[in-house]
Amino acid sequence: MKKIIPVLFLLAFGCKKSDTNGSLQMSDIPLRVGDSWSYVVTNYPVTETDTALFQVVSLTTINADSSVYKTITSIRGVVVDSGIICKTGSTYAYAGDNGRQTYAGSGLFDGWTLTFPISATPGAGNGNSVKVVSTNQIVTISGTPFINVTTLARTSITPGGVITDTMLLAPRIGIIQWDGAPIVGYHIP
C-alpha cells in the first residue's frame, strides 16, 4: 500500500505543469489563513531535531494588490517564532514581525523574497539575491514524490560572512524544503 500512494500522487498531480514555459506563477503557491506546513528542523545550539509547524494565522488587506499575512511557527505546541509575509503585486516577502531579519524570533523563511513569475531558466535572477538553480524536478522527501519542483538559492551577507541557503517550491503546495529542513506534512484547506 505504501508504494501505491506515491504513484497515485504522481498520477493525480503529475500531468499538469504550472505554466507552458515551466515558470511558477503566484497562483501556484497557496497562501491563505489556515494553511500550515510541518518541517523537520534542527534546534540550536544543540543538534536535536524536531517538527516545526508553520501557520498562516491572519490576513490584513491593504488594497487590491497588497496584503500582510501573519505567521507563527510552533514546536511541540509552543510558539517559538512569528513573522509576516507581505504580498505586493507579484511578490511574497517573508520577514520577522519587526519587518527585518533578526534570526531569533523572526519567523521561518525570514528574509526570502519571491518575485513571480519565477523563471524556468536555471541561473535566472528572482530579485533579492535569489537565483533559480533548477526547475521541473521530481523530488522525493520522506517517501513522498513532489513534481515540477523549482530549486532556488539565496546569497546573504551576515555578521558571520556570506551564506547561501536553498528553497524548494512545489506547485499547489508551496515550500517543500528550506535549507535542509524538509516538509513532513501540510494542510491547505
Give the per-residue pLDDT at 14. 37
Number of CB atoms found within 10 A of residue 95's CB: 22
Residue pair 15/34 in contact by the 8 Å Cβ criterion: no
Q: What is the fold of 4-187?
A: YmcC-like fold (2.40.360)
Question: What per-residue confidence (pLDDT) applies to 163?
Answer: 81
- pLDDT at position 143: 93
Cα distances (Å, whole numbers) of residue 175 to 98, 156, 162:
23, 19, 23
pLDDT given at position 126: 55
Residue 136 is placed in which grid cell? 521541473
From first to last of the 189 residues of the chain, give the pLDDT tens digit.
Answer: 333 333 333 333 333 433 446 688 999 998 999 999 999 988 766 678 889 999 999 999 999 999 999 999 898 999 888 889 999 999 999 887 755 444 444 457 878 888 889 887 776 665 557 889 999 999 999 899 999 999 999 887 778 888 888 999 999 999 999 988 899 999 998
Q: How far is CA 116 from CA 29, 46, 87, 98, 125, in A?
A: 10, 37, 11, 24, 11
Helix (H, G, I), strand (E, B) or coil at 148: strand
Contact (CB, 8 A) for 95 and 61: no
Reported in sequence order, the residue ranges of the chain that DSSP labels E, i.e. its strands, are: 36-43, 48-63, 66-75, 78-88, 91-96, 113-115, 130-141, 144-158, 161-170, 174-178, 181-187
Domain boundaries, the chain: 4-187
pLDDT in the model for residue 22: 67
